[in-house]
Amino acid sequence: MWRSRPWFDCCDLIIQEGRIWRIVQHPDAEGPAPGDRVVDASGWVLLPGFINLHAHTPMTVLRDVTEDKPLARWLREEVWPRELRMRSWELLEGSKAALDEMLRSGFTTVLDMYRSMDVVGRLAEGRGMRAYLACGLVGWWPLSELGLRGALRLRRKFEGSRRVQVALGPHSPRYCPPAYLRRVLNLAGRAGMIVHMHCGEDPQEAGLWRKRHGYTPAEFLCNQLRGRSAPRVILAHAVHLGDPEIGRLAELPVGVAHCPTANVRLLGRTAVVRRLLEAGVPVGLGTDGAPSVGRLDAFSTIRDCALLAASGGDDAQLSPMQVLWMATRGGALALGRKELGQLSPGSAADLVALDMELMGTRRPGIKAACRALVWSARPDQVRMVMVDGIAVWTGRTEGPS
Ligand SMILES: [Zn+2]
C-alpha cells in the first residue's frame, strides 16, 4: 500500500495490488496497517502517468544530426541514408537514452514505432514502463512480407508480458498501398492488435491517394474500420484531415496522436486539435522521434502543445486542463485502456509526482496548478514515477526505498 498527500487538496491515495484502492479526503483514523509502505508526498502534486502516444525510440541516435527539410525530402535525404548505416549498438544506446528521458519526466506508457522493437521491449520491461511496440512496416515486397512475419514473431516473444504489447506499424499511406493496409488491418483485427501509423502528416498524401485510388487514406480507413472485428488504430499527426473525415473517424475505434513539436518543425503547421476533441476523437500527445523534436520529455511536449494552441487564434485555444487531459486520459482512451490515465478508485496506479514548491507557487488552487504544470514544470521537478503501484523512478531526492 502506498499513501501520499497531494498538496492542493490534501487527500490520501491508498494503493493496493497495483491499483488505486481508495482516495480519502481526510487522514484515515486507523492509519496505515503494519507492513504498509507510506510515502509522505507533502508539497507534491500527483498526476496520472503521462502517455507518449507516438515515438520512434531508437532514433535518438539521430538527434540534432539531420538538417530540417520538408517531410518527404527530410526522410529521403536526411533520415533513410543514415538509418541504413545504423549499427545495433547505436539502436540499443539510442533506445536506452530515449526511454530514460521519457520515464524520468513522467511518461509511464509509450507507443513506439521503428525497428529493433525487441530491444525496446526488453529495455521497457527492465525499467518497469508500459510499451506498445509497433514494428515499422512498408508495403514493398519483399519487405512487406518480412515485416509482417517479424511482427508476429515479436508478438510471440512478448506473449504473457505484463506491460509490453506488440502492435502493427504500417509506416504511412504513402509507403503502404491500400491492399497492404487492408491486410494489416485484417490481421490486427483478428489478432487483437493495435495499428499505429502516420496519417495526415504528408501534405501530398491525400491528393496522391485520391488520384491513384479514388479516395483519401482517411476515407479508406472509414470504410475499413466498420464492424466488430475492426482493430483500434492510432493515427500519428493527423494534420491534413477535413471536417467530414474527422466526423466519420469519431465514430470508429480511432485515436489521434498529436505531435505538436514535430508538426511545426517539419510541416510548418499543427493539427486541428480542438475540432478533433469536439468531434469526440480521443486525442493524446506524442513526442515523435528525437531527430524531429529534440527533447523527448513530457513537459516540453505539453508546453509546445499549449503554446501552439495559443498561437492558433480563438478556434484553436486549449485550456491547461485540456492539455493535461490529452497527455494522460486522452492517450489512455485512444489506446482503449480505460484503467489508465486517471486517478480514481480501480484505476492502475500509474503516477507521476512533482515537487510543486520548487515551482514557486503555493496553494494556488487546481486551475493555477494546471497552469503551473503546463507552463512551468520541468523534468527535474519529478520526484517519483510509479507504474502498477511500483516506484520505477524516484528522482534525485529521497524517495521510497
Ligand atoms: Zn513519427
What does the pLDDT read at residue 381?
92
What does the pLDDT read at residue 272?
86
Which percentage of the chain shows pLDDT scores above 90? 75
Ligand 1 center from residue 390 Cα (angstroms): 30
pLDDT classification of 319: cutoffs 50, 70, 90: very high
What does the pLDDT read at residue 400?
43
- Contact present, 342 and 48 (Cβ < 8 Å): yes
Ligand 1 center from residue 397 Cα (angstroms): 34
**50-335 and 12-48+346-393 share a CATH fold:** no
pLDDT classification of 1: cutoffs 50, 70, 90: very low
Domain ranges of the chain: 12-48+346-393, 50-335
Ligand 1 center from residue 199 Cα (angstroms): 10
Handedness of CA 119, 109, 306, 366 (dihedral sign): negative
Ligand 1 center from residue 67 Cα (angstroms): 16
Q: How far is CA 1 from CA 339, 340, 346, 347, 389, in A?
A: 18, 19, 14, 14, 8
Ligand 1 center from residue 370 Cα (angstroms): 28
Structure confidence by residue, pLDDT tens digits, 173-221: 999 999 999 999 999 999 999 999 999 998 899 999 999 999 999 999 9
pTM (predicted TM-score)? 0.94
| CA atoms of 258 and 305, how far apart (whole Å) | 8
Q: Which residue has the cell 518480412?
A: 146
Q: Which of 172, 134, 170 is nearest to 154 (CA)?
A: 134
pLDDT average, residue stretch 155-180: 96
pLDDT classification of 389: cutoffs 50, 70, 90: very high
Ligand 1 center from residue 55 Cα (angstroms): 6
Structure confidence by residue, pLDDT tens digits, 116-159: 999 999 999 999 999 999 999 999 999 999 999 999 999 999 99
| CA atoms of 50 and 52, how far apart (whole Å) | 7
* Strand pairing category for 382-387 and 50-55: unpaired
Ligand 1 center from residue 20 Cα (angstroms): 33
Structure confidence by residue, pLDDT tens digits, 254-276: 999 999 999 988 888 888 899 99
What does the pLDDT read at residue 29?
62
The class of domain 50-335 in CATH terms is: alpha beta
Ligand 1 center from residue 189 Cα (angstroms): 22
What does the pLDDT read at residue 70?
87
Structure confidence by residue, pLDDT tens digits, 70-117: 888 999 999 999 999 999 999 999 999 999 999 999 999 999 999 999
- Contact present, 343 and 364 (Cβ < 8 Å): no
1-10, 20-29, 53-62, 351-360, range with the lowest pLDDT: 1-10
CA torsion, ordered 175, 179, 184, 187, to nearest 10 deg: -170
Is the pLDDT at 398 greater than 70, yes or no?
Answer: no
Structure confidence by residue, pLDDT tens digits, 265-312: 888 888 889 999 999 999 999 999 999 999 999 999 999 999 999 888
Upper half-sphere CA count for residue 59 (Cβ side, 13 Å): 27
Angle at 271 between CA 270 and CA 274, to 5 degrees: 120
Structure confidence by residue, pLDDT tens digits, 35-49: 888 888 888 889 999
| CA atoms of 57 and 74, how far apart (whole Å) | 18
- Contact present, 194 and 188 (Cβ < 8 Å): yes
Residues with Cβ within 8 Å of residue 118, at least 6 apart in sequence = 133, 154, 157
pLDDT classification of 361: cutoffs 50, 70, 90: low
pLDDT classification of 243: cutoffs 50, 70, 90: confident
pLDDT classification of 326: cutoffs 50, 70, 90: very high
Count Cβ atoms below 10 Å from residue 75 Cβ, excluding itself: 20
Query: Chain-wide mean pLDDT for the chain?
Result: 90
pLDDT average, residue stretch 341-345: 93
| CA atoms of 167 and 111, how far apart (whole Å) | 9
What does the pLDDT read at residue 296?
97
Is the pLDDT at 17 greater than 70, yes or no?
Answer: yes
Per-residue cell: 390: 511500483
Ligand 1 center from residue 39 Cα (angstroms): 38
Ligand 1 center from residue 387 Cα (angstroms): 25
Second CATH level (architecture) for the domain 12-48+346-393 = Roll (2.30)
